Amino acid sequence: MRYMIIVKGDDRVEAGAMPEPESLAAMADYHEALQEAGILVDGSGLKPSSEGFRIRYEGDKRTVVDGPFTETRELVAGYTIIKVASRQEALDWARRFPNPRGEGKDCEIEVRRMFELEDFEPHESIERFRKMEVGTSEKSLESGTDGNARVSVPIPHLIVSDGEAAIAFYEKAFGARVHGRHKADDGKRLLHAHLEIGDGAVFLNDDFPEVCPGGAVAPTRLGGVGSVIHLEVADADTAWEQAVNAGAEVCMPLENQFWGMRYGQLKDPFGHLWSIGGPTT
């Protein structure tokens, strides 16, 4: 279930004042915690109503009403959307939301649960929204016209020998962003981590040989890999240099290839192969 945390406007926001550095730092800390917990969906601040407008409906007539609007405390100044398992979890996280006006000052935020498509009775229009993946917490994976399950995007799932070190490397080498991470019961190994690299995602976890003997293992224990993860970039040379400087090992030099791409392959410190490709130079 999704909840929206709504920050109300005030005279300062409507005057166009930017948040204080302390407030920005507190908000960044809070949203990083949401991301690490894997429940952050979206969040943003809104500019003053003077830069917005309203559409007023009167019968068949539509009239544009330019801002600013006078009911300052009824305006929305920002929002954060979270995806949680229960109302109590939403309440617990909302209690941790930093005071938008600064600690110690009187203020109020509002939290509203969002509709999911599953809340509506079945209808052709609802299915149209579902196909657009609008108004739902889950990606649509119903069968397509050919009878096969519709897959959104394949996500590489890496097994590594040191999950935390791998995350640190991918952050430095590929600009990865951590969307969520969860420790195993031993408090040391990563049971699951969700990274975002560019517009794509990568899952990873530590090697657990005791859980699934003969299953997926880390390349360092396997002695090699059977796949390569490809990164398509606008500037292959810059991306290549960043990865090499972070500690990646060159397996295939970055060169203009016969198929019309500037392409090369690297091995990360955990044994996985990555290719980087972009326009030729």
> Whole-prediction pTM value?
0.51
Q: Which pLDDT belongs to residue 26?
A: 92
What angle (nearest 5°) sits at the alpha carbon of residue 261, between those of residues 259 and 264? Answer: 110
Domain covering 2-113: architecture: 2-Layer Sandwich (3.30)
Q: Which pLDDT belongs to residue 139?
A: 47
State the span(s) of the chain assigned CATH 3.10.180.10: 157-278
Q: Which pLDDT belongs to residue 158?
A: 92
Q: Which pLDDT belongs to residue 251?
A: 94
Low-confidence ranges of the chain (pLDDT < 70): 134-153, 211-215
Q: Which pLDDT belongs to residue 150?
A: 47
State the span(s) of the chain assigned CATH 3.30.70.1060: 2-113
Domain covering 157-278: architecture: Roll (3.10)
Q: Phi first, then psi: what are they for 205, rounded to 5°?
A: -150, 160
Q: Which pLDDT belongs to residue 38?
A: 83
Q: Which pLDDT belongs to residue 118?
A: 80
Q: Which pLDDT belongs to residue 37?
A: 83
Q: Phi first, then psi: what are they for 242, rounded to 5°?
A: -60, -45
